[in-house]
Amino acid sequence: MNNDLNYQGSDLMLDRLPLADVAKEFGTPVYVYSASSIRRQAARLMRSLGTIGSLRYAVKANANPALLSLIFSMGFGADTVSRGEIQAALDAGCPADRIVFSGVGKTPEELAFALDQGIFINAESEEELAAIARLQTGAHVGIRINPGVDAHTHQYVTTGTEETKFGIPIDAAPDAFRLAMDAGLVPDTISTHIGSQITSLEPYRKSLARLVELRDSLMSDGIPVSALDVGGGFGITYDEGADFSVEDLQALLHRDFPQGIQLSFEPGRYLVGHAGTLVTRVLYRKRHATTFVVVDAGMNDLIRPALYRAHHAILPVTRRDSEPVLCDIVGPVCESADCFARDVHMPLPEQGDLLAICDTGAYGWSMSSTYNSRPLLPEVLVEDGEPALIREHGQ
């Protein structure tokens, strides 16, 4: 959980600022981010993986322009999966030569745009390699390899097994690299990404071992692979406990990985996940077979609990002393899946009380929608205890 989120007396504070003050000034629901949390996570990544390779922020996690500018100012490049994300990265000050374009379904127009900008492309299929070659021979490219490793995360964010749509199976990799060379491309990078919200080192160890073996085989066949894009997926804790240890991954790479290969990493959630808090207001309570607390945020604002059954801690913005009860925290959207948490043990909030849904900085606003014709939420960045509106309501 965000270390900048804590109680001062009965008031929940974010970076020394009462969240109740943010709600009063900007309304609810509202996403609130801590700049100090992002800086802290960025520094941890730079001290560890940044000492052995380059770091690119996965823009899909949260593409707010103010957050992108903050992250790029700290030395990160960008991992993008659409023309829109490429443009957002460029607009936020990321140099084109520090942007990589990934994704399983790039259009010809997107490929042409990326090549014209001088952006590196990680191809995900043989037909995509052919499409790149038709646009520009001599282009340096990466090829995303599916290493056949189960990251043991949620099935919707597992991307490294043979059953997923991503990448080229490792057994087919040699043919894909030869195809790229025959087409006039320079396939000098093995790219991979085995999943999201990974908490164990073991999937990375297995994946890297297989990719090193592939690289050695390609080199012996005269295909000069000089770089490995490890991807991201580093998990954070949404309750008690520790985040994925990037220090352990650094040690593994120091110990077991051959020297002389350029490494790159693409964290997203790890940078911004803890930084975000969704502040929402209680509208109604319904005490029948189940006690429901109806809030003004909905699944269109934060879809992770409905989509993944993801857990987010929920805290009262002002603590009450009444006896805790079991309740479900639900939104106003016309779907039974519109539930942020079931069987929460907390003092029953009063109408008008504020609740904080924690660790919503990644895949929160970026996955939101206007379902039920509900407007997109405002976003606020808190730095040194001062709030600044970084996205208007409805934009």
Cβ atoms within 10 Å, residue 338: 21
- C-alpha gyration radius of the chain: 22
Measure the CA–CA gap between 129 and 162, rounded to whole angstroms. 20
- State how far the Cα of 289 lies from the Cα of 193, in Å rounded to an integer: 44
Q: What is the DSSP letter of 286?
A: E
* Contact assessment for residue 207 and residue 231, using Cβ atoms and an 8 Å cutoff: no
Q: Which of 95, 100, 88 is CA-nearest to residue 230?
A: 100
- What distance, in Å, lies between the first and last C-alpha atoms of the chain? 28
Helix (H) or strand (E) holding 187: strand 186-191
Quote the CA–CA distance of 280 and 354 in Å, as a whole number: 6
Torsion of CA 123, 125, 129, 135, to 10 degrees: -80
Query: Is 334 annotated in the active site?
Result: yes
Q: Out of 94, 334, 339, 358, which one is annotated catalytic?
A: 334
Q: Give the separation between CA 244 and CA 283, rounded to whole angstroms.
A: 37
Contact between residue 275 and residue 34 where contact means Cβ atoms under 8 Å apart: yes
Collapse the DSSP code of 56 into the 3-class scheme (helix H, G, I; strand E, B; otherwise coil) and give the result.
strand
Q: Are strands 30-34 and 276-287 parallel, antiparallel or unpaired?
A: antiparallel
Catalytic residues: 334
